[in-house]
Structure 1
Amino acid sequence: MKTKNIHIWKFIILLLLVLPVRPAQAQKNSPLSISEIHTLTETMVNYSPDSTLALLNLASHKIDLLKDKKLASAYRADNNLRMADYWVFEDIKKAKEYLSRSHDYYKSNVNNKRLAEIFCLKAQIIKLEGKVRIEAIEEALPYFDTALTYALLQDNPKTPAFIYYEKAITLQQAERWQESLENAFLDIQYAELSGDSLSMAMSYFLMGRIYNYFGFSDYSEPYIAKAISYGDGMFLLFSVIHSYANILLENGKTEHALENYQLALKICLEKGRLDRAKVIHTSIGQVHLREGNFKLAEEAFFAINELHKVEKSEFPNSLLFSAQMHHYWGDNIATLNSLKKLTENYSSTNFYASEIDIYKGVADLYFQLNLPEKSSLFYKKWGTLKDSLQTYSSRLQLGELEKMYFNERAKNQTITRKNEELKESRSTQATMGVLFITLIVIGVWVTYFIRMKGLKENQKLKFALKTKQLEQLMEVQETERQRIARELHDGIGQSLAALKLQLQFDEAPNAQQVTMERVNALCKEVRTLSHQMMPLVLRENGLKAAIEQLLKSSFTNPEIEADMVTHNVDLRLSEKTEVHLYRITQELISNILKHANATNVGVQLLLRDDTMILIVEDNGIGYVQEDKIEGIGISNIYSRVEALSGRMRIRSSKENGTCVHIAIPYSHQSNKKTA
């Protein structure tokens, strides 16, 4: 509880601190201006909150007296933001009102630094209203991201430093420690870049907490010791020292921990924070009780009782300590009363994760009081919570430290000391950086090795496929040669032999006429064979005319209806492309005649953009994928398509027939039109 006298004395001390730094002439001629008050309170809120409120009320009075309405609106928006910063941990409703007014102004009068602070305060308010539950944290995190967007648009590194700090603390509260570590690294970089002592104190405290969580106590202690050094004089320094003492106690450094508990207690009493003084007295008393120093534990207990006459707030640890002391004195009734008060007023949802061990302390006392059923109940609760919750660091200290997020304090220190501390900090970061880089290099090497192995396997498969396709193509060519040889031998060869004999021995009157008929038949057969090898119409009139003639000659059966659709194919293609597409169409039509039992056949030849498309479809019996057997004909088609750098897709089913879709890249090298 803050008394009126404490407020007055703090305000007097503040003025004594401020006035000497102003020039002597200014002290005589003018009081603090509004902008000077705002600059001062932005930092002073972390050292003397009550004096900050008095100064802001003074600034508000000065703003009301301004005649320039535009200037007054700008000052009032800044004053509302400073008020929101003050009230956020005192009265959330007031903080929201002030923040809303400030935000309304900066929506139309953009100031990146102020908007960053506004969105960070919005995130704080959401967390506090949601009692730092996981749902509230998840809702608050996007506001930090928005705040960082504005903070990184301005030049002052202090602003992103304390937003990264706030976000990292919030992620810790959600048990997302890895993400918190990533934000902590960014926080410490911006804090050291700014050179601001308060920002550096916050960032060092944050890194100390994270290292302690991950079990690196050798790193944790120096960081928090630095935080205490840089934070000298700030209002919530006692909270940092209290956390430091808790870490020392966890690391088995009891005497050093007690020294820091006493230092934190001294600062609390000086600043009138009696509620926190009771908590620290409890920590001291429990340490002495555990060490068997009962006299010192009694002194801590009596000190808590004296403070309780003025400050009535109670905490779970204080009630447990009270029960432990009454049990030590043998007053079982008072012990049971303290335990009853503790268990009735504080459930697991009221405890922070770091206070879950309170249940174990309650269970131990019930066991010593020979109440096994209650002891078992609280042992079970303790075990259940231990299994379901990871250890949190003290959230109570974090809640109070949140007051520092948007404020700074100018403090001069010697360049040598700062350089030494920066060197030590950067050395630690460099070590961690080398470790991360090593892991990345190893990961990249393993990925590269796996990728190269896969590429080699793919190359082997492609080579095997090329070899198979070449063998099949050679087989097709050999078969074609044998067919031509048979045609020449059985057809043209036999006809020439018969013609020769006739010329030698036939002396009939009509011999010349018979010879002419034989010669005409022989010419026709040679022309037919020539057209099979390279159709004349393809060479002279192009692909479209050749395919039309192929359809007309292939589908003479009136029961089969065949049609062809073309679009934009008047230009001639290269000879290679036309021959391949003609042979592909010829092979597909041959397959339809042999296997499809179709009554409708359609061929489409289309030029779209830079792609020549050939579609051959029928309504035959088709085939299912499992029954597909790729013979020489289909393999030959694949080889021709690949030779043209094209793609082929076959869709077939027993109900809908077969559709072959072939796409070939088209080059505008020839503008010769077909006849």
Structure 2
Amino acid sequence: MRNFFLIFTIFFIEILSSFSQQNRNDSLKSLIKQDVPDTVILKQMMDIAWNSFRTYPEQSLEIIINAHSLAKKLDLYIDEAKCENIIGIIYSTTGQYDSASFYYSKSLAIGLEHNDDVIVAKGYNNIGLNYYYQGIYNKAQENYFKTLPLYEKTSDSLGLANTYANIGNTYVLMNSFGDALNYLKNALKIFEKINYPWGIANTLNSMGSIYSDTDSLRNLAFDCYNKSLKIKTTLNDRFGISNTLNQLAMLYGQEKNYEKELEFYQKALKIKKEIDDKSGMTKALLNIGKTYNSLKKYNDALNYYFDALKISQEIGNYYDKQQAFSAIANTYSKIKNFEKAYEFKQLYSIISDSIMNVEKSKQIIEMQTKYETEKKQKENEILAQENQIKNLEISYQKNQRTVIFIVFAFILFGGFLIFNRIRLKQENKILTEKKLRASSVFQAQEKEKVHLSKELHDGLGPLLSLIKLNASSLDVNDKNEKMIHEIKELASEGMKEVRNISHALMPSLLEKKGLESALNEFIEQINQTDSIKAELSFSLTSKLSQEFELNIYRIIQETINNILKHAEATIAIIKLLETTKQLELTVSDNGKGFKVDEVSAGNGLNNIYSRVDFLKAKLKIHSESKKGTTFNIIVPINEV
């Protein structure tokens, strides 16, 4: 049912100061008597039409058509385009879409001819609204999204908010409710910031329509509609009041309070008739028929459906005609008149196919308008050329110089592109070779470390064990007891150091069980020294290459060694985090800190820098005196 109401929610392009109808008429009469300039009278006529069309559409249309003639006579293209937009808006709100399209296209053509972003933006926005009224939502969105960058460029907050709201309303009708709510909230935020009551009221209406479909959010819908109705009543916006009454009626219907539903639909229908809003009358009649259907008063329902069908045929609204055919067919089916039900079901199918053809027809009209605009532009160009015949020779020489300059510029630009391409290839080749060399160096270092680790473990380790064993087998007496004990202690200490050095050169757990296990073992070894407490936070989920794990392990190892040697810290924290785009390594301590710019890089820092470069990562070091040091390394996830 949302489609029956949201299609009326409309946000116009601009707003002038608002005061009573009588005051405006008196002001205009006073200006005419005072013999003021025509431009002042023109502005007043536009003001009266704009601020009155919702309540008095016929009178406003007559005034703005006269204003349009005056603007053309005075050769004021901006005011001419504004008048055409207002005429289009009045026609559109009263269901005369072809007439609205004609004037919107004329206004857009003026904006394009004069390269005026403000007029062009308003033209696209209003053309989108016209498609929106007719239920051609993809074309409506296409025009709205052309409008957004133009309003952003011209810093038009009101225009931007209106377009956000229009996009949101159209998304609702396309059943994309999440997108709709996002755009509507953006619109409401701007409307409230600039204190624009029309926009606030209409946006609340639209948000209420979204909330109304969820039982748990229905109270929010009532709240939005009642706030909107209060604002529109203050503004005497009869068009808007009728729309909000329709939406409140729909809510009562959802709660099966059919008496209230009928009451509010009838109030809305009365206003629609008073302001001659034929499109709105169609929706109201369809809604009243639906309510009578719910009450099983099928003959009453049919009467209202046929009234709706008659008006929709008069104004050429395919969407409403489609809804009327469907409702009539379903109602005849309920009263067992299957012959009539079949007849109107067939009509429903035919009109559904026709709706697809309507869009094609609109495209043809749009192409025709574009053709006429281009034709007029070409005629103006020919006229301008005829007036400049005497200057053809000078123009030719200027053009010749321009062509030579452009050709020369293209040659230079092309040469620059070729040179730049060659340079980039060479740089990429150097970077690739540099990375390969670095990889080879790291691999050679690691291979040597593995070799040394095995030599220490398999060679020196057993030798120390043998020394300890032989010392234990010696005859102990008072003279040599102390010496033998010292030999055994030294052998044990040597074995421990050999294991530590062997592990530092190549941690076996890294190869067997991966980075997390190796780091946990590394942390345990650090904590056994009692000189510092180390903590590890590990939250990686991606599968890492062995080379990557080894480089990360070496970076952490070098960083912790620097902390142990220089920081005088009591706590060291290692964090490894992963997001969708990057892996982040942070090593921090609570030590004495240092001045990063003044410290020369030793072997430890140089090794860290080398491995960071190899990983194509970014390293940041933050350190403050007596506040510790933090190493932060960011690695792109595609390098992992």
TM-score, normalisation: structure 1:
0.44
Greater relative contact order: 1 or 2 (C-alpha under 8 angstroms, separation 6 or more)? 1
Larger Rg: 1
